[in-house]
Amino acid sequence: MSTLLATTLLAGALAGGRAADGDDVVLKRLYPKTRTIELEAGAGLLLNPTFVDTALARASLRYHWSETWGLGLAASAAAAKDRDERGCVESFYNDPLKEGGAPCHAQDDGASLEGAKEMSIGPAYPGIRALAGLVLGFGDYTLAYGKQILLHGAVSHFDLRVRFGGGAVLSRYYEAVPTRPELKESETDLYGEAGRPEPRAETSPCLYLALAEELHFGKHFFLAGELAGYVMTSEGRGIEPFFVAHLGLGLRL
């Protein structure tokens, strides 16, 4: 009798597991995606800056024809702000009045400008790319759909997505200029920001790969987070990778 009961319970558990994994559960999702449109707006930060900090504002549109697959378009506008390191390098030791940023002051107080024949005291201009914008087309694949418990009871429904595609990177590129040790400190129009070369506007192709999560709330809204990697190519510099973290708020129609 005990063997028969155990066999019956095992069969019931296996049958229940198959039912839980079937299409009937997918059809009862609280936040279905089939034949839906998603609109999202948000902001992002460049994660691997060199001499400039870059913030991005992004808008995207996605359409899902199934619970798994969708297509999307996204456009971003970027704003770049110089870091202190850029001002330091571009002025180098030609800053006896300490008009540059704090890192320059820590390197030299200006006294070495007199008679420093054995060292370079001229400004240097490394090659710097400042992002201006991004335009993307991509596929959207849902890896997982589920729910999680937050704050000892609050339930959050989420999607985990992989996005892949390509597009164009709009940027301004500042060509590298060799160090110029012959400059004098009085030639203020030839070093620092005043001596910076004029940037060249470029539009370059790129590949895009991202991992994203959406947290659903209300009936039509969601919070979105994305970690994205981009690989662009440009003439003279070859392959250039960069990474961006995005946060956004979305509406599902």
Rounded CA separation 62/72 (Å) = 4
The pTM is what? 0.76
Range of the domain at 247: 31-252
* pLDDT digit string, tens, across residues 27-37: 456 777 889 99
Assess whether 5 and 90 both reside in one domain: no
pLDDT at 10 over 50: no
Rounded CA separation 99/157 (Å) = 53
pLDDT of residue 99: 55
Assess whether 9 and 75 both reside in one domain: no
* pLDDT digit string, tens, across residues 47-98: 988 889 999 999 999 999 998 999 999 999 999 998 877 877 777 655 555 5
pLDDT at 186 over 70: no
Average pLDDT of the chain to the nearest whole number: 78
Residue 227 and residue 211 in contact, taking contact as beta carbons nearer than 8 Å: yes
Assess whether 132 and 224 both reside in one domain: yes
| Mean local confidence (pLDDT), 196-209 | 92
Assess whether 36 and 16 both reside in one domain: no
Rounded CA separation 45/39 (Å) = 20
Domain count, the chain: 2
Beta strand extents in the chain (DSSP E only): 36-46, 52-64, 69-82, 128-150, 154-174, 200-217, 221-234, 238-252
Assess whether 132 and 12 both reside in one domain: no
Assess whether 13 and 135 both reside in one domain: no
Assess whether 17 and 110 both reside in one domain: no
Rounded CA separation 39/74 (Å) = 10
Question: Confidence band (pLDDT; 50, 70, 90) for 190?
Answer: confident
Mean pLDDT lowest for which of 74-83, 136-145, 211-220? Answer: 211-220
Assess whether 210 and 232 both reside in one domain: yes
Rounded CA separation 206/165 (Å) = 9
pLDDT at 147 over 80: no
Assess whether 138 and 117 both reside in one domain: yes
